[in-house]
Amino acid sequence: MIEYFISGPGSAYTRLVIYLVAFMAFVGLNAAYLVLAERKGAGWFQRRPGPNEAGPAGILQPIADGIKLIAKQVFVPPGVDGILFRLAPALVLMPAFMCLATIPYAETIYGRNINVGLLMVFSFGSITVFCLMLGGWASRNKYAVISAARVVSQNIAYEIPMLLVVLTVLMLTGTMDMQKIVQQQAGGFWNWNILRGVWTLHNPLVPVTFVIFFICMLAETNRAPFDMAEAESELIAGAMTEYSGFSWGLFFMGEYANIVVSCSVATVLFLGGWQSPIGILSGGAWGLIWFFLKLYLVIFTVIWVRWTFPRTQFYGLLNLSWKILIPISLGTLLLSSALIKIL
């Protein structure tokens, strides 16, 4: 019986259960500490120390925040669509969990390796939008509805350049299997997809592709400067306006989980996943260390961008996508396909 679940055909299920528990812990802790990192980052970028009262250097701040959120009442305002209103925060974490299961954290550490893993990540990634829209729509609040509409149009606008640049990279890799994509990038940082296309001449514009991917990633996760969905100065808290207590906290966790998913995909696709940047110190636990080092470097950049740029206007956001990002990504796609055909 035990044999069946450890080494037998049941080991796949064991793996899934372990990863489900581990991811729940990881997503929760990660969300809590990314909030702290964000607040610390905001402070440091403004030459403040950030939260520093709870515990040494403020490291207990997330616990205080968590207790506060749990202790607060989950208020359901009169007139809302009760079922959808409660369903939305419950659903918002689901896509992120599904995506995290396919991401290879190290050579042997992954929830489930699927040969179309990337496709799955992007298909589930777009479901997050529906959860936000559901919450906004069910809230019976004009700000929330405006926010819901913005989320949808923003995500439609940015899904296209996102998928176009991913296509460009997929033409280089030739597979959607994330583990294989990482294995292709072995050897050193010059073999990572962000640079490999340049010197193999298959896609000299691959750094541009990465920049477009990064911008789209910010827009898809509703991060500043594209946080139109939660534009505090205009829409109070957007789709989360009517949420309180831990249902609001779940939206927040969902946002940070999505950041982790997006940054993980960026790491896997462009920055070599768990591969060492210099070729040595690879394998085993090193893979995990490199992966998380790269992941949190990308997340730091996300925070850095947030505290550098002001929020764009909504038409500016859509103009950027339709008039700049989509033409450029189409151009790189054409160039890349032509070069791969010729060379």
Partner 1 sequence: MSAVAAAKEVLLGFKSLLVGMRITLGQFFSPKITVQYPRETLKMPERFRGHIRLVLDPETGASRCTACKLCERACPSECISVDGVKLEGAKTKSVTEYHLNFTTCSLCGLCVEACPFDAIEFSKTYNAIGVSRSEFDNMDMVRQLAGRREVWLQNHPLPPAAPAMPAATAAPAKSAAPTLPPTPETKTP
Q: Which residues bind partner 1 (CB under 8 A)?
A: 41, 43-49, 211, 304-305, 307-309, 324, 328
Q: How far is the CB of 49 from partner 1 (least distance, A)?
A: 5
Question: Whole-number minimum distance, CB 305 to partner 1, in Å?
Answer: 7
- CB of 179: closest distance to partner 1 in angstroms? 33
Q: What is the 3-state secondary structure (H, E, C) of 21-77?
A: HHHHHHHHHHHHHHHHHHHHHHHHHCCCCCCCCCCHHHCCHHHHHHHHHHHCCCCCC
Report how far residue 35's alpha carbon sits from residue 58's, in angstroms, rounded to the nearest whole number: 12
For residue 103, what are the CA distances in angstroms to 109, 177, 186, 257? 9, 10, 17, 13
Q: Choose between 40 and 150: whose C-beta lies nearer to partner 1.
A: 40
State in angstroms the smallest separation of the CB of 45 from partner 1. 5
Nearest to partner 1 of 296, 307 (CB atom): 307
- Compare residues 12 and 324 and give the one whose CB is closer to partner 1: 324
Q: How far is the CB of 12 from partner 1 (least distance, A)?
A: 44
Minimum CB–partner distance for residue 306 and partner 1 (Å): 10
Type and span of the H or E element at 224:
none
How far CA 285 is from CA of 49, 105, 214, 224, in Å, comes to: 33, 10, 27, 34
For 193-228, b/e burial (b = at least 16 CB within 10 A) is: bbbbbeeeebbebbebbbebbbbbbbbbbbbbbbbb
Name the residue nearer to partner 1 (CB basis): 48 or 112: 48
Helix then strand then coil, % of the chain, to nearest 5: 70, 0, 30
- Considering the complex, state which of residue 82 and residue 327 has its C-beta at the smaller distance from partner 1: 327
Q: CB-wise, 13 or 309, nearer to partner 1? A: 309
